[in-house]
Structure 1
Amino acid sequence: MSRSERSSLLLAGLLATMGVAHFAAPRQFDATIPRALPGKPRTWTYASGVAELALAAGVALPRTRRAAALAGAAFFVGVFPANVQMAVDWRHRPAPLRTAALARLPLQVPLVLWARGVAKGAEGRS
């Protein structure tokens, strides 16, 4: 298995794990949904879980890998407001939790770059 293939499957695994987590423990995700979004937070939690599962499947399959990885990069940018919401909401929590919420903010950058790298690695292979 090539390094590119391993990277793709690891990204698919991360997306699948997070997608399942949205259904297994939705309450923790509900709390990160920006209040400016319409509807109930649980709807957004489930929708993002479905999106992550669909992206995982797309990234796992060589034929759809490039498009799904680019969509994944956009998804990681799109969920950034939830991480900001969490950091704002957790600003008065104990230091370890506050630190964890703040640490999530810059973590979106390597996720976006990883997804873009997977897309680039998939060019010409579909």
Structure 2
Amino acid sequence: MSSRMTRTILRWLLVLLYLAAGYFHLTTPLTFLAIIPGWVPYPLQVIYWTGLAEVAGAVALAQPFGPWLRKAAGVGLALYALCVWPANINHMLIDLARPDHGLGLAYHVPRMIAQPLLIWLALWTAKVTDWPFTRRGR
């Protein structure tokens, strides 16, 4: 499989992932309320805005016209994934503090590892970066 095809397939998987995540943030916001760190103001509104950001980023990443909007979406989704990381960390801490350890390390460790991968994937599938697949001097 070519790098171009791999990038396209992964871009569409990312589009579907963010569309689904946005849908759930918008339709079941109370599910996410418990994992929002206490220092975040207006947590319910933040959940709605994150859902809208996910849907908008997915739509922009999916568009077939000109690379500039896709690149902007890649940067936006990468920044988004970075900004929501504290909620994911908070979710892990809350969950593991439960007597039954909630979803457990088998869920949370891969989830924590996946976050930087999502950041990179947004940038790579949008062609913001070719790292680590480019050779030096190219």
Same fold? TM cut 0.5:
yes
- Structure 1 window deviating more from structure 2 (75-84 vs 24-33): it is 24-33
Find the partner of 1:88 among 68, 73, 93: 93
In the alignment, structure 1 residue 79 sits paired with structure 2 residue 84: yes
Is the Cα–Cα contact under 8 Å of residues 57 and 77 in structure 2 kept in the other structure?
A: yes
**Equivalent position of 2:71 in the other structure:** 66
User: In the superposition, relative to structure 1, how do residues 82 and 5 fare at CA in structure 2: closer, same or farther (>3 Å)?
Assistant: same
Structure number having the greater helix percentage: 1
In the alignment, structure 1 residue 31 sits paired with structure 2 residue 31: no
User: In the superposition, relative to structure 1, how do residues 121 and 7 fare at CA in structure 2: closer, same or farther (>3 Å)?
Assistant: farther
- Structure 1 window deviating more from structure 2 (48-57 vs 7-16): it is 7-16
State the 1:29 CA deviation.
Answer: 1.1
Q: How many residues align?
A: 122
After superposition, give the CA deviation of every residue in 1:45-68 in whole Å (9 maximum; x if it has no partner).
111000000000010013311110
Is the Cα–Cα contact under 8 Å of residues 16 and 58 in structure 2 kept in the other structure?
A: yes
* Partner Cα distance (2:96, 2:7) in 1: 38
State the 1:76 CA deviation.
Answer: 0.7
In the alignment, structure 1 residue 3 sits paired with structure 2 residue 6: yes
- Secondary structure (helix, strand or coil) at the match of 1:55 reads helix
Aligned sequence identity (%) = 30
User: In the superposition, relative to structure 1, how do residues 52 and 78 fare at CA in structure 2: closer, same or farther (>3 Å)?
Assistant: same
After superposition, give the CA deviation of every residue in 1:69-114 in whole Å (9 maximum; x if it has no partner).
1111111111100011111211222235132244422210111111
**Equivalent position of 2:52 in the other structure:** 50
Is the Cα–Cα contact under 8 Å of residues 79 and 119 in structure 2 kept in the other structure?
A: yes
* Partner Cα distance (1:122, 1:88) in 2: 32
TM-score of the superposed pair, with normalisation by structure 1: 0.84
Is the Cα–Cα contact under 8 Å of residues 12 and 57 in structure 1 kept in the other structure?
A: yes
TM-score of the superposed pair, with normalisation by structure 2: 0.78
For 1:73, give the aligned amino acid: A
Unaligned runs of 5+ in 2: 131-138
Runs of 4+ that moved beyond 6 A: none
Is the Cα–Cα contact under 8 Å of residues 90 and 97 in structure 1 kept in the other structure?
A: yes
**Rg larger in 1 or in 2?**
2
